[in-house]
Amino acid sequence: MPPELADSHVSPAARAAHLWGRLHGFGPVVGLLLLCLVGTLLNPDFATLDNTLNVLQRTAFIGIIAVGMCFVIISGGIDLSVGSMAALIAGCVIMVMNKAGAGMGAGPTVVALGMLVALLLGAVFGLIHGLLITKGRIEPFIVTLGTLGIFRAYLTYFADGGALTLDNALADLYSPVYYGSLLGVPFPVWMLVAVAIAGGFILNRTAYGRYVQAIGSNEQVARYAAVDVDRVKILTYMLLGLCVGIATLLYVPRLGSASPTTGLLWELEAIASVIVGGTALRGGAGSVAGTVVGAILLSVISNILNLTSIISVYLNAAVQGFVIIIVAFLQRGRR
Amino acid sequence: MSTFNRRRALGVLSLAAMLSMTFMATPASAQKKEVLGVAIPAATHSFTAGIVYWANEAKKELEKANPNLQVIVKTAANASEQANQLQDLVTVNKITSLVVFPFESAALTKPVAQVKAKGIYVTVVDRGLTDTSAQDAYVSGDNTAFGKIPAEYIAKALSGKGNIVALRGIPTTLDNERMDAFNAVLKNHPDIKLLDAKHANWNRDDAFKVTQDFLTRFKQIDAIWAADDDMAVGVLKAIEQAKRKDIKLVFGGAGAKGAIKTLIDGSNPLIQANVSYSPRFMYDAIKLTAEARLKDQKLPATTIIPSVLITKANAKDFYFPNSPF
């Protein structure tokens, strides 16, 4: 977060600049609102409750991962492996649940076990990343580029190139975690809200959150200020791993399967959400709320494209690209 | 220097060995040693996993039946790796015939042409080269039928009247061929309306999202052409979530084992038929090539492995539980 200008005795020019600066901060929100307006004009079904919930529900995976990614990027790091990690965790969860289900019958304990495995694996993978980056002194780009290949290759190996599929009885038992809802709002959306609130709290209201921002803005100074830089960084990657675990435990019940195409390019979507949401790629400052807005914005684009057929289907990716650049332009000016 | 000399000496020796082998081979061609190279894409999704599986099945079976046949299977993750493997197969493995499933048509045409220029017999599978003179034979699945059969089936099931939507794969010539064939049939059924067709990249998750949006957008859909069994998985989940009862039929395609199992068990009323496009044609291509070469025969220039309609009645013939696909 940029320091707030609290002084009320400023010149009109400074006030205008201040207002403009605040507007920039709202760039993603403005972009999202404009996009929603366009969507409603193109197809009235866009603004229905069902469609809104569909979009939010499918944003949940990327949104939750992006919140974790937000911390990593603010600390000056990057993680390219989240998509592959999600795929591998999904595969492992399915294998463990199928084994356990065969052993002790399909029951809620098996589902709980699967969820626990997802969280545990996420944290462990994050820990490995953190250790390699801090103690091993390898660039995060390289470490996670390496694990990107490793995670996906192992999933492909476990799946024998095909798909790992959850047993039917277990899939039925597990499916409410994705398809179920509370007060009319699906569980994944609640989870996204909870993760976002927790993330915002940790980033802005805890010492750890301050350390993350300090390290991203100047690692050397943070070290001099007696911040345990290595520990904070390792925790950041573990936090992201945990977020991937949460996203995966919501993903598995959706299709009940994991294949080598699971989570493909999620890393880029998560990183784009963070940056579109107003976080600087070089680290130091950023916003969890902006990140979530960024993630929603990305899925709204493809939603609108699916709801209309005004442009060639071959150009879908181009539209996504144009919108990302325009929104980034709207919220520039913080460097 | 010494390594150079040694290498040259080895080269001369192997050349001599090769010469003597060819001399020996000439009088008794039945004893000819055939080395068949197989270059295919790596198992990155279930269809290519099927390709790898069937290539290895063919290798196992053929090598057991023919002691003087060696089959070397190489898998590549991208086009340039495959081009390198072709070179290795020629220079290191000294192949006498090649069965190649090109990663991309255009990028692999030159490398395959170079292999053929060395006198090696080349069979190209599935993705045609841009210059057909670079191949001796071409074996392929039937993409036209892949689009035609579902269109005919859907038209018949809806008695020539209704609303349908379609999913498409990754934008490629192969996908276009299927879509064109599908549209061509629909021309004969003016009362069937194709509301829209969007790419879902042969991916379950993308298919789920695209279908969700189709269901939001169109209030009355009678049938969905999922155009692939992986995509059909996502389509069915999206329909289930939206609790829509208007859709009577979901037509996948390719005959993945999960989809065939559903058909045999009759476990989903929306799945009533499928169309074959099995990676088993890899097995057929290798077997045809090896058998023809061992008998010093040629393959026909083009062999199309037909895509056929699979219904509950004949589903058992298309069920291979051991294959990953």
- Mean pLDDT score of chain A, rounded to an integer? 87
* pLDDT number for residue A10: 56
pTM: 0.76
B241 touches chain A (CB under 8 A): yes
The string of DSSP letters for A201-244 reads: HHHHHSHHHHHHHHHHH-HHHHHHTT--HHHHHHHHHHHHHHHH
Closest partner residue to B171 (CB to CB) among A51, A160, A314 is A314
**Chain B residue closest to A47 (CA)?**
B216
* pLDDT number for residue A14: 64
Q: What percent of chain B has pLDDT over 90?
A: 27
B8 or A62, greater pLDDT: A62
Mean pLDDT of B248-254: 91
Residues of A in contact with B237 (CB under 8 A): 254-255
At A312, is the pLDDT very low, low, confident or very high (cuts 50, 70, 90)?
confident
- Res B13 pLDDT > 70: no
At B21, is the pLDDT very low, low, confident or very high (cuts 50, 70, 90)?
very low
Query: Closest by alpha carbon to B51, among B284, B263, B314, B306?
Result: B284
Instruction: Kindly report the nearest CA distance between residue A163 and chain B, in angstroms.
Output: 7
Closest partner residue to A255 (CB to CB) among B46, B50, B205 is B205
Mean pLDDT of B19-47: 66
- Res A6 pLDDT > 50: no
Mean pLDDT of B205-232: 92
The string of DSSP letters for A59-97 reads: HHHHHHHHHHHHHHHHTT---S-HHHHHHHHHHHHHHHH
* pLDDT number for residue B152: 93
**Chain A residue closest to B165 (CA)?**
A306
At A147, is the pLDDT very low, low, confident or very high (cuts 50, 70, 90)?
very high
Q: Give the least confident one: A14-18, A35-39, B184-188.
A: A14-18
Whether the complex's predicted ipTM surpasses the cut of 0.90: no
Mean pLDDT of B56-85: 87
- What's the pLDDT tens digit per position in A230-277? 999 999 999 999 999 999 999 999 888 888 888 888 999 999 999 888
Closest partner residue to B324 (CB to CB) among A48, A161, A257 is A161
Instruction: Kindly report the nearest CA distance between residue A176 and chain B, in angstroms.
Output: 11
* pLDDT number for residue B31: 54
* pLDDT number for residue A79: 94
Residues of A in contact with B173 (CB under 8 A): none
The string of DSSP letters for B176-230 reads: HHHHHHHHHHHTT-TTEEEEEEEE-TT-HHHHHHHHHHHHHH-S---EEE--SHH
Cβ within 8 Å of residue B305, ≥6 positions away: B139, B140, B141, B142, B280, B281, B284
Compute CA A13 distance to the chain's CA centroid, rounded to the nearest angstrom.
38
* pLDDT number for residue A71: 96
* pLDDT number for residue B29: 45
Question: Of chain A residues 253-292, which have a CB less than 8 A from chain B?
Answer: 254-255, 257, 259-262, 264
At B114, is the pLDDT very low, low, confident or very high (cuts 50, 70, 90)?
confident
Indicate yes or no: CB of B217 within 8 angstroms of CB of A43.
Answer: yes
At B11, is the pLDDT very low, low, confident or very high (cuts 50, 70, 90)?
low
> What DSSP designation does B118 have?
T
Indicate yes or no: CB of A257 within 8 angstroms of CB of B204.
Answer: yes
* pLDDT number for residue B20: 45
**Largest Cα–Cα distance of chain A, in whole Å?**
73
* pLDDT number for residue B232: 92
Mean pLDDT of A91-97: 93
Indicate yes or no: CB of B324 within 8 angstroms of CB of A314.
Answer: no
Q: Torsion angle, CA of B55/B60/B65/B68, rounded to 10 degrees?
A: 80
Tell me the C-alpha to C-alpha distance, in Å, between residue A176 and each of A188, A253, A256: 10, 8, 12
Residues of A in contact with B45 (CB under 8 A): 161, 259-261
Mean pLDDT of A35-64: 90
- Res B200 pLDDT > 70: yes
**Chain A residue closest to B231 (CA)?**
A255
Q: Give the least confident one: A93-102, A109-118, A290-299, A310-319.
A: A310-319
With left for phi above 0 and alpha for psi between -120 and 50, is residue B94 left, alpha or beta?
left
* pLDDT number for residue B236: 93
Q: What percent of chain A has pLDDT over 70?
A: 91
At A67, is the pLDDT very low, low, confident or very high (cuts 50, 70, 90)?
very high
At B215, is the pLDDT very low, low, confident or very high (cuts 50, 70, 90)?
very high
Question: Of chain A residues 55-74, which have a CB less than 8 A from chain B?
Answer: 58
Structure tokens that stand for B276 in this block: 């074959």
At A13, is the pLDDT very low, low, confident or very high (cuts 50, 70, 90)?
low
At A214, is the pLDDT very low, low, confident or very high (cuts 50, 70, 90)?
very high
Query: Containing H/E element for A125?
Result: helix A108-134
A310 touches chain B (CB under 8 A): no
Q: How far apart are the first and last CA of chain B?
A: 52
- Res A7 pLDDT > 60: no
B31 touches chain A (CB under 8 A): no
Here the contacts of A221-228 (C-beta below 8 Å, separation 24 or greater) are: none
Residues of B in contact with A169 (CB under 8 A): none
Q: Torsion angle, CA of B125/B127/B133/B135, rounded to 10 degrees?
A: -20
Indicate yes or no: CB of B171 within 8 angstroms of CB of A161.
Answer: no
A302 touches chain B (CB under 8 A): yes
* pLDDT number for residue A21: 58
Residues of B in contact with A162 (CB under 8 A): 46, 49-50, 324-325
3-state SS, residue B129: coil
* pLDDT number for residue B27: 41
Mean pLDDT of A154-177: 85
Instruction: Kindly report the nearest CA distance between residue B215 and chain A, in angstroms.
Output: 9
A312 touches chain B (CB under 8 A): no
- Mean pLDDT score of chain B, rounded to an integer? 84
- Res B1 pLDDT > 90: no
At A15, is the pLDDT very low, low, confident or very high (cuts 50, 70, 90)?
low
